[in-house]
Amino acid sequence: MMVDTTSGEGHRGALPALAWKLVKIFASVALTFLGLLLVTFLIGRVVPVDPVLAVIGDRASQSVYDRVFIELGLDKPLYEQFWIYLQKILSGDLGTSFLTKKPIIDDIARVFPATLELATVAILIGTSFGIPLGVLAAVRQGRLSDQIVRVVGLIGYSAPIFWLGLLGLLVFYARLHWVAGPGRIDIGFEYSITSRSGLMLLDSAMQGQWGAFRNAFSHIILPASLLGYYSLAYISRMTRSFMLAELAQEYVITARVKGVAEWRIIWVHALRNAAVPLVTVVALSYAGLLEGSVLTETVFAWPGLGQYLTNSLQNADMNAVLGGTLVIGAIFVGLNLLSDLLYTLLDPRVRRR
């Protein structure tokens, strides 16, 4: 009696391939993060801002200047300064803000939840509308609906986000009064919520503060919709491209010949295969929203990481600027890693390479 061991051998062979793929991904991420640290370190050394004067001011004596210069390690060789910088970063020490006089990591922990909440609502809007619109454009390629979706995406790509923000405030806040104005929540509701996660919508809902929830939602919906529109333009275009490639495959033609319902071919078979690369698109779009909401937060006075970086840059607080830049870069690298892992796990063809 013969026993078929082919499937078992294939399964065992796939595991080392997957493990090697994961090792290469993590090694690539580690090198990318090291490069990010090197770039931020060098930027901190070439910007025309004296870190010693930022600490002691421009009226201190030369002896004080020399002492602080040595305390900051600026008298050491550049490679030794980078090694010290690397050790501090890996221990979670991003330095102290000259503006707030607090550790930068604490400042970022305070302001980042606002950016996270804004970007999360925005990516939900962008994904919820972008994927269906992309599918519609692919199914009706060359028709009027396809042209409309492409024009909508083109406007989302081309229009400056700060201009859309000002226009949105003028129309929906100042004229129509459909949404609340700048800020994250009205002061009357601000102290009625106990901050636990730092996310206004989540905290107010969990505490049953529905008045505060509605007020916070009224504040976030306009900036999140604008950012969501920006991501919608990218997601819909990529969805259309992936779907066109899938709809041209032989399995789609075979399914149609067999009489499979068109909706099932589109939404179950083709979209399921297109969803694998779409994971990367959505993850990178989300990372872009987390790092690219500076102008939106400035226009809407949103107390997030973007506004924190803007204020720090205006006050020449380079420690805070570089610390925030490093955090944003780390988030981008982390989301890129997550998308690569999901891509590897969802697509068996990648695991076999």
Q: Tell me the pLDDT of the chain (353 aa) as tens digits.
A: 444 444 444 545 555 666 776 777 778 778 888 887 888 788 777 766 677 776 676 777 888 888 878 877 777 888 888 888 888 888 888 888 877 888 889 999 899 999 999 999 999 999 999 999 999 999 998 899 999 999 988 888 888 888 888 999 999 999 998 999 888 988 888 888 888 888 999 999 999 899 999 999 999 999 999 999 989 999 999 999 999 999 888 888 888 888 888 888 888 888 888 888 888 889 888 888 887 677 888 889 898 888 888 888 777 777 788 888 888 888 888 887 787 777 767 665 555 55
**What's the rounded Cα separation, in Å, for the pair 65 and 348?**
60
pLDDT of residue 2: 45
Q: Collapsing DSSP states into helix, strand and coil, what is residue 91?
A: coil
**What's the rounded Cα separation, in Å, for the pair 319 and 302?**
22
User: E strands of the chain, at which residues?
Assistant: none
Fold of the 107-351 domain: MetI-like fold (1.10.3720)
| Every domain of the chain and the residues it spans | 22-93, 107-351
Using CB atoms within 10 Å of the CB of residue 177, give its burial: 0 to 12 exposed, 13 to 18 middle, 19+ buried.
exposed
Helix (H) or strand (E) holding 250: helix 250-257
pLDDT of residue 138: 92
